Amino acid sequence: MQTYPDAPWRYAVAVTPMIPWVFIVGAYVRYYRRMDELHQRMALEAFAFAFAGTALLTFTYGFLDFAGAPRINWWFVWPLMAALWIIGGFVARKHWL
């Protein structure tokens, strides 16, 4: 794409790695629907923990960025959310099982 910086198809090519994620999300939704109620609740609590924790940390860093903190690459958001999802899963499992 650097060879053709003004090509109209550059955005379509840039997002092609996201196509498999549509199927991954669909597979997880099907898996979630097959869970019993307790496991659905634990999964939902893990997602809520990850969402809230990611929002808290990214908004906090956003405000620090306004204050002059060094800029960082936002690719870290997905690993952060994944780590918080795992932690949330452990917390929910400990609470319910």
> Can you give 59-71 as a three-state secondary structure string?
HHHHHHHHCCCCC
| pLDDT band at residue 30 under the 50/70/90 scheme | very high
**68: pLDDT strictly greater than 90:** yes
State residue 17's pLDDT score.
94
**DSSP symbols for 27-46:** HHHHHHHHS-HHHHHHHHHH
pTM of the model: 0.82
Residue 20 falls in which region: left (phi positive, over 0), alpha (psi -120 to 50) or beta = alpha
State residue 74's pLDDT score.
86
| pLDDT band at residue 93 under the 50/70/90 scheme | very high
- Distance between CA atoms of residues 78 and 37, nearest Å: 27
Residue 68 falls in which region: left (phi positive, over 0), alpha (psi -120 to 50) or beta = left
